[in-house]
């Protein structure tokens, strides 16, 4: 599992956005994952949502730059 904070800190630059903005946006998206199962709603508190494009991007960045 890619740790949330370390994962999005590994993203250095996305065209035209400052790193602070990228971190804030990633943190918001990762920390606000909710899903339902058997009629109940849950808040995911560890890792990224399976199949999420953002989680995939963060995981790839972390693997490409493990020392970041």
For residue range 19-52, what is the model confidence (pLDDT) as tens digits? 888 889 888 888 888 989 999 999 988 877 887 8
Whole-number Å distance between alpha carbons of 36 and 7? 25
Helix (H) / strand (E) element for 20: namely: helix 19-31
Range(s) of the domain holding residue 55: 4-64
Domain count for the chain: 1
Q: Which pLDDT score is estimated for 37?
A: 93
Strand segments (E) across the chain: 33-37, 40-44
Phi first, then psi: give them for residue 54, nearest 5 degrees.
-70, -45
């Amino acid at each position: 599992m890619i740790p949330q904070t370390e994962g999005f800190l590994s993203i250095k630059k996305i065209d035209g956005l400052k790193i602070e903005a990228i971190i804030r946006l990633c943190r918001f998206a990762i920390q606000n994952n909710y899903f339902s199962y058997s009629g109940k709603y849950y808040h995911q508190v560890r890792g990224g949502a399976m199949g999420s494009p953002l989680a995939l991007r963060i995981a790839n960045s972390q693997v490409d730059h493990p020392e970041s």
